[in-house]
Structure 1
Amino acid sequence: MIELFFGNIANPKEGHNVNINKKVRKYMVKNVKVIFFVLLMFLSFPGASQAPMETAKEKTIYFFSGMGADSSVFKNLKLPGYHKVYISWIPALPNESITEYAGRIKSQITTPNPYLIGLSFGGIVAVEVSKQIEVEKMVLISSVRKKEDLNKVQFFFMRLGLYRIIPGILLRRTNFLTNSYFGARSQKDKKELKKLLQNTDISFFRWALKSIAHWDNTESPERTIQIHGTADRVIASRLVHPDYRIKGGGHLMVFNKADTISRIIRHYFHE
């Protein structure tokens, strides 16, 4: 076949003005045969003509923000290489438990075996969601694994329902007490806290406090790490047993300790 294809070179016809040395012709034909042989061998391998394999899909992280807050609370976290989905809070039903609420909000999770990150109250909801679906790994930031980690005095006042008599306008305001309570020391942190409180859905806030007061989870979730600040006053550091303690971290450490928290999460997810 090679000789026929290159016949005008290997066997030039009469009248053609082709002056090619015989040794050169033999050399060209020999090399062309080698090239065709190599191509034939390559094409004979299984899958040689198939399209390249697809790259592995990104893992999906679902974020549960604090009580009624939006996704902006996570803006300082650096977690490249992941598909990020921010859970949107939905209105709670009257007398709905956290477990029942988790059963409805989990419909936003469409990826099998996802990663979950829960902040504060969002961590509690994430714990309940993890009991209803298969979760690859979960991270709780400034949150708790079970009800025993919460302050019993806070539980008592929440069960009394005193939060119901506090005017909504006061719950949305910031002052030196709220700044201290949430650990907002810098002007930037105070600005973020003010924004969070101003955007708080008061009816959701009151439902959340009521539901926490009746939360009955006693088991620690599997494949979960807890990151907590030593200066957290909303969820007292002395009552929880986190895997990582962030020195000087308050309840808003997701803003001002984001680099440290990001490193911990990246390491855990890569294990």
Structure 2
Amino acid sequence: MKQIYLFSGLGADYRAFEKLDFSDFYITHINWIIPNKDESIENYAYRISIQIKAKNPILIGLSFGGMVAVEVAKFVEVEKIILLASAKTKYEIPFYYKIPGKLKLHKLIPASILKRANFLSYWFFGVENKSEKQLLKSILKDTDSIFLKWALDKIVTWKNTVTKKGLIHIHGTSDRILPLKFVKADFKIKNGCHFMTLNKNIELSNLIESIIT
């Protein structure tokens, strides 16, 4: 069986993958660690890569987890990187995130606001029903505030320009956090939102399996 390492997104954890079918593969969930003060995403990726024990594994990253997977692959030889609702390089981060990033305005937002689920976060993530909203609410509540603020800073100031061989990008056509028009996707999930791992899980599971096998 193929060994897959799963990187969840910002404000997310292993529960973001719970509806995907990985029954034909060995999977390991990468655990986020607390970043050091002013730590670069490159150094963080190096430290977190220690969790990867298999040779030539497949990395699957959701949202911010995809960005970290891209950085980890600079230190670990991998068979494939599969990005879900993510970005490959700094060029795929929308300009309206980069502007406040340069002005450091994002650092003024209290973590308590970012961790609070409401109608706006439900709309941005694309959650559609009561159970999905409850799951998002729970995940955001459980996210470490230090990690959340650090990761937000790394997203809006990301400098990567390298696209590694073997990288495959899957993106939803209705993603509101990282709109499709800013990225070059290899595969598009019709009406898929940023949380498409939950509500487009069957289509996404079949696609991932076909890519891997």
Residues 97, 215 of structure 1: 8 Å contact kept: no
TM-score by length of 2: 0.95
Q: Higher relative CO (CA 8 A, sep ≥ 6), structure 1 or 2? A: 2
The structure with the largest alpha-carbon Rg is 1
> In the aligned structure 1, how far is the partner of 2:176 from the partner of 2:101?
16
Q: Which residue of 2 aligns with 1:166?
A: 109
Question: What runs of 5+ residues in structure 2 fail to find an aligned partner?
Answer: none
Question: Contact 2:111–2:149 (CA<8 Å) still a contact in 1?
Answer: no
| Percent identity of equivalent pairs | 42
The answer (yes or no) to whether the contact 1:230–1:246 under 8 Å persists in 2 is: yes
State yes or no: 1:131 paired with 2:74: yes
Q: Report the CA distance between 1:157 and its aligned residue.
A: 1.2
CA distance in structure 2 between the aligned counterparts of 1:120 and 1:172, rounded to whole angstroms: 17
> Aligned AA for 2:86?
S
The RMSD of aligned alpha carbons is 1.3
Q: 2:169 aligns with which of 210, 220, 226?
A: 226
| TM-score, structure 1 normalization | 0.76
User: Following TM superposition, by how much is the alpha carbon of 1:68 offset from its aligned partner in structure 2, in angstroms?
Assistant: 4.9
In 1, Cα distance between the equivalents of 2:179 and 2:129? 21
Task: Tell me the alpha carbon deviations over residues 60-103 of structure 1, each in whole angstroms, 9 at most, x when there is no partner.
Answer: 10000012532111111112221111000011011111111111
One of 74, 91, 96 as aligned partner of 2:39? 96
1:255 to 185, 198, 206: 198
Contact kept in structure 2, 1:113 and 1:135, CA below 8 Å? yes
Q: Which runs of 4+ in 1 moved over 3 A?
A: none
Work out which of the residue numbers 180, 199, 204 in structure 2 matches 1:237: 180
**Could you tell me how far apart the structure 1 residues matched to 2:74 and 2:16 are?**
25
Equivalent-residue separation in structure 1 for 2:67 and 2:74 (angstroms): 11
